[in-house]
Amino acid sequence: MFTGIIQSIGAITVLQRTGQDAQARILGGGLDLSKVRAGDSIAVSGVCLTVTERDAQSFAVDISSETLRCTTLGSLSAGARVNLELALAAGAPLGGHFVTGHVDGVGGVLNSQPEGASLRVTIEAPAALAKYIAAKGSICLDGVSLTVNEINDNAFTVNLIPHTLQHTTLGALAVGARVNLEVDIIARYLERLHTWR
């Protein structure tokens, strides 16, 4: 479980395909890895990955074919910057919202324009996910917890404040960029309860 509050911007140093799967080494970029052990989870641009080994500055992960297919990780290469967050520890502050690291789909940036000191970004979500996105509700973009401003059909807008622009990879978003989306877990469970027979 995560919060969507990014702790560091890391970088992929190695991304090697191994048949249908992949293995990666990720530089922590200042993330405190001292207590991380093999088997621990780290969110990498919103994707929950299991650490296979680590040193003082980096960690390694295996990436399944399903994860490569359903997230943006399959399109990344060595040198790509990624948002990093360690798993939520019991008793730690919950500054964002409950994020599982189980990406629901990939969205595309339709528009980006300054609005005061912020950047207002419009994202198109896959049609199957749009019903889970609500104005003033939570959404996770590449691992970043954000508030939805408004939604129109499959498109929704968020505002990226200066802190978010400086301390996450979202400051480099351009029109056409693809982003990992995780909808609010509460919406998914409510639908399941409503449709259960």
- For residue 98, the model assigns a pLDDT of 86
70 located within any domain: yes
- When divided into structural domains, the chain yields a total of 2
pLDDT at 163: 97
Whether 3 maps to a domain, the answer reads no
**pLDDT attached to residue 50:** 98
pTM of the model: 0.94
Q: Which amino acid is at 60?
A: A
Report the C-alpha gap between 46 and 144 in whole angstroms. 7
Tokens, residue 112: 């980006």
**Do 156 and 183 reside in the same domain of the chain?**
yes
Nearest 5°: phi and psi at 196?
-70, 140
Give the C-alpha distances (Å, rounded to integers) separating 170 from 2, 72, 141, 162, 193: 18, 14, 8, 11, 34
Res 185: pLDDT: 86
* pLDDT above 70 as % of the chain: 99
Does any domain span residue 179? yes
pLDDT at 162: 97
Low-confidence ranges of the chain (pLDDT < 70): 197
Return the biggest CA–CA distance within the chain.
51
Q: What is the CATH number of the domain that holds 46?
A: 2.40.30.20
Contact 84, 6 (CB under 8 A): yes
68 in the same domain as 125: no
pLDDT of residue 192: 77
Q: Are 111 and 168 members of one domain?
A: yes
Secondary structure of residue 143 in the 3-state scheme: coil
Looking at the structure, tell me whether residues 131 and 182 fall in a common domain. Answer: yes
Range of the domain at 32: 8-86
What does the alpha-carbon distance between residue 163 and residue 76 come to, in Å, rounded to a whole number? 25
